[in-house]
Amino acid sequence: MSLSRALDPMESTSAPATEGAATPAARGASTFFSQPLVPILTALGVLVLVVTAINFARSAGLVAALWGAGGLAVAVWLRTSRDRVYDVCFGGLLTVGIMAGEVMAGNPVGLSVMFTVANMIEIVGAVLLVRRFAPTLNLSTVDGAVRFLLCGAVLAPIPAAAFSTAWLTVLVGADPLASFQTWWFGHALGLAVFGAFGVSLTRPHLAALTRPWRAVEAVSLMGLVLAVTVAVFMMVRAPLGFAVIPVMILVAARLRILGTAAALVIVTLTAVGGAMAGVGPFSGANVDLADRAVLAQTMVFLGCLPIFLIAALLEERDALAERARLGRVRAEAASEAKSRLLANVAHEIKSPIGGVIGIGDLWKAGQLGPVSPTQAEMAEMLVKTARQVEALAHDLLDVARAESGAVKVELRPTDVPGLLEDVRRTVALRPEAAGLRLEMDCAGDGLVALADSQRLAQVVGNLASNAVKYGASGGVVRFVARRAPRAIRIEVVDQGPGLTAEKQAQLFEPFNRLGLERSAIEGHGIGLALAKRLTELQGGSIGVTSQPGAGATFWIELPAA
């Protein structure tokens, strides 16, 4: 197995069928010993980091101000762990690596054992806490990043710090407060920075850097971070640590989680390294080594580590945006499929319905033989019903064309009062308009809209048809035209029962009759949806104003010619 594949927790190898009877312990031991490269390299890396930290980062007696070994161990352990046997083997190898590093760095055997136990308490605690409270290891969300940092970096070092402080106080008389503070700061910083960097090394993040321009940008930004941090923390004594923050924000904006984690490693090493070397803004004649280390650690914790959460927020936003884009693509595909289905159904309905209407007309006219009065009445009902189905087919076809963008509109100056009068006369001929007063109210001159007259008449006709069917109880339907700011406003007003706010929100949804499906009023629930789409195609807007018991006013606003 390759190193990158071994580090990917989301990828697992398929076991042969003959291994199905093997116990989990046998499988774990087999996996560990047949693929030892990653554990061995991790133990060697931990050994090197232990020696380095002890020799170059001790700031409070025997305690180092920066401890990267724990971060490396936790990251690899979390990324490669498979079962308890693997955990035991991996933990044992880490113990050997830490112990060897302590001895090689010159610590006495007893002290080395004590420090090894404390480090393993910390590493095992971090692994257990992260597995319990952040099991997905997803640092690309704010919740995942906060859980990892809180459990793996903030809480895990506390028991180890307390254990080591007690031992150091008893054995060498170390200052308890300074020892605990330095241990917790140094180990928490190592777990947060090195651990987050290790966990961030996932296939998707690395794949994003394979594009040449992206790789060049990443190298350039890391070079910028290195140059700024070296200048700020090693070359000048003025307190210019704030200058690192804008660079970190730039890295978070461009490289997201992985880039920010790498930049944090650079900032931490240079800040703490400068403090240990006695250079930079944290050095001074009256500042001892432990205080310099605390200042550097605090600067990284409070100034730079929160930017990691900004990177997580940006990456989470990217994921949500991508999910929304995919959802929109799927919705558009579903809408196109629905439109094609509606168009096909409408075409399939039109041909046979035309034949039914023709036969009904011939039957009613007596051209198919003698017709009794009852038969003539039945033939008339047949033709009426068939024409309703034909009108539905036309509406379905219009809806399908409008949603697919196949409807073409020709915007020309249109005399709105004349169009409303034509619609009023047409509606007055409908049987359901009998007994209704259809009034006109066109205020002002020059009521000319930029519209497609045929489509606008279809829209107003749909609104008027609804007003006649649903608002007939009021006895009056008014057609209103007036000027609005840079627009012409058309209103169809009825005095019917009105609409609740909930029904108004659903009014322009296709095939939604607002619970009137079983009423005596005929309809299919697509007229208003079609009116909305046709109005939008003409560059206008449509809506309704209504209150229960106070009628309804459907309005259209179109650009003035």
Q: In this predicted model, which residue has the larger pLDDT, 100 or 437?
A: 100
For the cut 60, the answer to whether the pLDDT of residue 293 exceeds it is yes
Model confidence band, residue 222 (pLDDT cutoffs 50, 70, 90): very high
User: Around 348, how many Cα atoms within 13 Å sit in the side-chain half-sphere?
Assistant: 6
DSSP H helix total and E strand total for the chain: 20, 9
- Confidence (pLDDT) at 406: 67
- Confidence (pLDDT) at 3: 41
For the cut 50, the answer to whether the pLDDT of residue 389 exceeds it is yes
Give how far Cα 209 sits from Cα of 124, 232, 323, Å. 32, 28, 22
How do 448-451 and 476-484 pair as beta strands?
unpaired
Kindly report the length of the chain.
561
Q: What is the DSSP letter of 430?
A: S
Minimal CA–CA distance to 452: which of 487, 404, 419?
419
Q: In this predicted model, which residue has the larger pLDDT, 293 or 336?
A: 293
**What tokens appear for 109 in the block?**
């055997």
Q: In this predicted model, which residue has the larger pLDDT, 541 or 398?
A: 541
- Confidence (pLDDT) at 153: 92
Q: What is the DSSP letter of 13?
A: P
pLDDT digits (tens, 9 = 90+) for 96-132: 999 999 999 988 998 999 999 999 999 999 999 999 9
Give how far Cα 252 sits from Cα of 150, 223, 231, 264, 409, Å. 20, 15, 21, 11, 48
- Confidence (pLDDT) at 5: 43
pLDDT digits (tens, 9 = 90+) for 298-326: 889 888 999 999 999 999 999 999 999 99
Q: How far apart are CA 263 and CA 550, in angstroms?
A: 65
Q: What is the DSSP letter of 514?
A: T
Minimal CA–CA distance to 78: which of 201, 163, 205, 161?
201
Model confidence band, residue 378 (pLDDT cutoffs 50, 70, 90): confident
- Confidence (pLDDT) at 104: 93
- Confidence (pLDDT) at 10: 41
Give how far Cα 278 sits from Cα of 59, 218, 293, 296, Å. 11, 31, 10, 11
For the cut 70, the answer to whether the pLDDT of residue 15 exceeds it is no
Note the pTM of the prediction, 2 decimals. Answer: 0.66
- Confidence (pLDDT) at 11: 43
Q: Of 304-318, 379-393, 481-495, where does mean pLDDT reach its minimum?
A: 379-393
Measure the CA angle with vertex 101, ends 28 and 91; round to 5°.
Answer: 20
pLDDT digits (tens, 9 = 90+) for 395-411: 777 777 766 666 778 88
Model confidence band, residue 447 (pLDDT cutoffs 50, 70, 90): confident
- Confidence (pLDDT) at 359: 84
Q: If you average pLDDT over residues 13-24, what whole number do you get?
A: 44
Q: If you average pLDDT over residues 425-440, what whole number do you get?
A: 83
For the cut 70, the answer to whether the pLDDT of residue 469 exceeds it is yes
Model confidence band, residue 531 (pLDDT cutoffs 50, 70, 90): confident
Minimal CA–CA distance to 249: which of 306, 195, 298?
306
Q: Which long-range contacts (CB under 8 A, 24 or more apart) does 542-547 make?
A: 542/459, 542/508, 544/499, 544/504, 544/507, 546/498, 546/499, 546/504, 547/498, 547/499
- Confidence (pLDDT) at 71: 93
Q: If you average pLDDT over residues 436-451, what whole number do you get?
A: 85
Q: In this predicted model, which residue has the larger pLDDT, 417 or 396?
A: 417
pLDDT digits (tens, 9 = 90+) for 512-524: 655 554 444 555 5
φ, ψ for residue 470 (rounded to 5)? Answer: -100, -20
Minimal CA–CA distance to 257: which of 203, 214, 312, 215?
312
The mean predicted confidence, pLDDT, of the chain is 83
- Confidence (pLDDT) at 23: 57
Q: If you average pLDDT over residues 144-171, what whole number do you get?
A: 92
Give how far Cα 42 sits from Cα of 3, 90, 98, 103, Å. 11, 9, 11, 18
Q: Of 88-102, 281-295, 431-445, 507-521, where does mean pLDDT reach its minimum?
A: 507-521
Q: Of 28-32, 266-270, 451-455, 458-462, where does mean pLDDT reach its minimum?
A: 28-32
Q: If you average pLDDT over residues 208-216, what whole number do you get?
A: 89
pLDDT digits (tens, 9 = 90+) for 336-365: 777 677 677 776 777 788 788 888 888 877
Strand partners, 481: 442, 490
Whether the Cβ atoms of residue 101 and residue 50 lie closer than 8 Å to each other:
yes
Model confidence band, residue 187 (pLDDT cutoffs 50, 70, 90): very high
User: Around 1, how many Cα atoms within 13 Å sit in the side-chain half-sphere?
Assistant: 20
- Confidence (pLDDT) at 2: 41
pLDDT digits (tens, 9 = 90+) for 20-79: 445 555 555 555 555 678 889 999 999 999 999 988 887 767 788 889 999 999 999 998
- Confidence (pLDDT) at 240: 86
Whether the Cβ atoms of residue 42 and residue 95 lie closer than 8 Å to each other:
no
- Confidence (pLDDT) at 1: 39
φ, ψ for residue 369 (rounded to 5)? Answer: 130, 175
**Percentage above 90 pLDDT, the chain:** 34
For the cut 50, the answer to whether the pLDDT of residue 12 exceeds it is no
**What tokens appear for 73 in the block?**
């161990």
Q: In this predicted model, which residue has the larger pLDDT, 285 or 549?
A: 549
Q: How far apart are CA 166 and CA 419, in angstroms?
A: 93
